[in-house]
Amino acid sequence: MAEHIIRTGKDGELEGLSAADIDEMVREAVAKGRIVVYFHGGLVPEAAGTATAKRLSTEFTDVGAYPVFFVWRSGWLEIIRNNLFEIAKEDLFERLLKRVVSWAVGKARAPEGSRGTALPTEAELRDQLAQRRRLEAPETGEEPFAGESTEGTAELTKADEEAFERDIRIDTELNRALAGAFAARDKPMNQDGSRGVPDVPPKPTRMDDDVLDEIGEGVAAGGARGDLSIIALARKAFQVLTAVVARFRNGTDAGVYPTVVDELLRAFYVGEVGGALWNAMKKETEDTFRSGGDRGGRLFLDALAKHLPDDGSVKISLVGHSTGAVFIDNLLRDVARRRREDETPLPEMTKFQVVLLAPAATTTHFAETLALAEPMVERLRIFTMDDTSERADRVAGAVYPRSLLYLVSGALERDGDEKSALVPLIGLSRYLAATEDDDLKRVLASPLKKSALLSETRTYLGVKDRVVLSPSKDDALPGFRAKALSHGAFDNEPSVIESVTMMVRDW
């Protein structure tokens, strides 16, 4: 089995094999005449990636293909999940969440066209948030305000800003939680004007260190009194509320509670929840095709260029699960670059079949790849969940009651300027629907349509047979069947595997 696995480590460097080993592997694969290259998801441990390779190897060889598996070091899903659960236990996070959720619900409930706010009562807010069972059993808890509509959400006003920041300033428990966080990091915090908050014991927080520095900015080295820290927190929290309301109004929200969590994580905890890890992981899929060193992806393409016949007779299927879709994007980009720069190019007649399973590639990255490589993609099909199933796939129980793709899109991704921002993914079917519901209409009327290249993505994927939503209908044709109901199920659900192997066999 080892000879079918290309294992890469840091910076995409080859591990366990030599360049000669890859050359021999590719020579054998080309002689077979049908190759399937599989890229596992980026949030699974290396051992799990190897286990997937062993399990799928028989499936692919049974349909006459020579399988090649890229296995790369990742395995950060459990880190992200555990950090989410730990963040949810913090008093500081809980108090911020309570304030932002209250105002978010209030703006959603305000009559359309109103400039007012209909805040929930303290009792309702307490009861709704208690449903999460965040401390005792968050895996079995319920989503707060799950049925709350965000359509027609009222705009925020200057009066709202002043009232919201006042609520933050006079919240004694929030002041105490913030003071505890500063004490735990041995950072100064001014408490003057914060309603007499006494010294409190340290309360460790996972809040990003630079965010705490930002909140404490302006506090004198000697701890001179002032209310700068709580005011800075209030202003940053209002930025979160502003982002939440904007998403309600432009149709990109994930529901009241998950959207608030998204924006709080992005503003205060993006480092701990995995933003840097996510971007580093994606970079590994790009670095492996760079020059210099024994990089697995580059050596694989070098060998293909050497052994593929000129007539395009060898069938190559690229199959990627989750972040494996980003890996495939980067492979296609490098094939296009090689042709453009005449650097060890693959034969001109070489075409690929691309199969993406719950892909975590952004619509921007996907559309930009198509602009470079579409002529070499002979057939493409995406298998991903419908939006109802996507919303029901809870990556962290009631703490984050949406799928991994929702978390990536809402909290971990970055925009074209490398700023943390909501970014659509091609695996989120809400952005691909042929029938435009009210939310999608608002999205397509927003700047996101242009910045995320949604028109280009929707036009390409709108072609018949390019997207299969799971669960598929019971009478779906062979090759279009999928019953996966979680993000992690796409590499082992029988209907999906049957569809993928049929595509490999029949192409």
The DSSP H or E segment spanning 380 is strand 377-385
Q: At what angle do helices 209-216 and 172-184 cross, to 10 degrees?
A: 120
The better pLDDT of the pair 58, 199 is held by 58
Question: Higher pLDDT residue, 403 or 292?
Answer: 403
**Which tens digits make up the pLDDT trace of 16-55?**
899 999 999 999 999 999 999 999 987 677 777 788 888 9
Tokens of residue 493, six digits: 């659900």
Per-residue pLDDT averaged across 289-296, rounded? 92
- Residue 106 above 70 pLDDT? yes
Please tell me the distance from the alpha carbon of residue 306 to that of residue 18, in angstroms, as a whole number: 16
At 191, the pLDDT band (50, 70, 90 cuts) reads low
Q: Which two tokens stand for residue 400?
A: 């984050």
Alpha-carbon gap, residue 260 to 41, rounded angstroms: 27
Return the pLDDT at 172.
92
- At 114 the pLDDT is 72
Alpha-carbon distances of 454 from 128, 431, 432, rounded to whole Å? 35, 8, 9
Q: Are 376 and 502 in contact (CB under 8 A)?
A: no
Contact 351, 378 (CB under 8 A): yes
DSSP conformational letter for 358: S
Which contacts qualify for 54-57: CB closer than 8 Å, 24 or more apart? 54/1, 55/492, 56/491, 56/497, 57/1, 57/4
- Dihedrals phi, psi of 420, to nearest 5 degrees: -60, 125
Helix (H) or strand (E) holding 22: helix 19-32
Between 62 and 293, the more confident residue is: 62
pLDDT at residue 250, as a whole number: 94
Q: What integer pLDDT is reported at residue 197 of this predicted model?
A: 53
- Judged by average pLDDT, the poorest of 104-118, 180-194, 354-368, 402-416 is 180-194
Share of the chain above pLDDT 90, in %: 76
pLDDT tens-digit readout, 396-445: 999 999 999 999 999 999 887 767 789 999 999 999 998 889 899 999 99
Per-residue pLDDT at 3 exceeds 80: no
- The pLDDT of residue 198 is 57
Query: Can you tell me the distance from the alpha carbon of 111 to that of 1, in angstroms, rounded to the nearest whole number?
Result: 63
**How much is the pLDDT for 280?**
84
Q: What is the pLDDT of residue 472?
A: 98
pLDDT at 193 over 50: no
Distance of CA 212 to the CA centre of its chain: 25
Q: Is the pTM of this model over 0.85?
A: yes
Which of these ranges, 430-439, 449-458, 481-490, has the smallest mean pLDDT?
430-439
Helices marked H in 110-227 — which ranges?
122-130, 158-169, 172-184, 209-216
**DSSP state at residue 68:** E
Residue 152 token pair:
């027609």
CA distances from 147 to 52, 150, 439 (A): 38, 10, 16
pLDDT of residue 225: 43
pLDDT band, residue 74 (cuts 50/70/90): low
361-394: pLDDT as tens digits: 999 999 999 999 999 999 999 999 999 999 999 9
Residue ranges per structural domain of the chain: 2-77+276-310+322-386+412-449+465-506, 88-273
Q: How far apart (Å, rounded) are the C-alpha atoms in residues 218 and 229?
A: 8
Mean pLDDT to the nearest integer, 64-93: 89
Name the DSSP letter for residue 12: G
Average pLDDT over residues 286-301: 94
pLDDT at residue 117, rounded to an integer: 84
What pLDDT, on a 0 to 100 scale, did the predictor assign at position 221?
43
More confident site: 419 or 68: 68
List, for residues 250-267, the tens digit of each pLDDT value: 999 999 999 999 999 999
**pLDDT classification of 222: cutoffs 50, 70, 90:** very low
Helix, strand, coil percentages (3-state) for the chain, rounded to 5, are 50, 10, 35
Task: Give the pLDDT band of residue 2 (cuts 50, 70, 90).
Answer: low
Whether the per-residue pLDDT at 196 is higher than 70: the answer is no
C-alpha 276 chain-centroid distance: 12
Residue 224: the pLDDT is 45
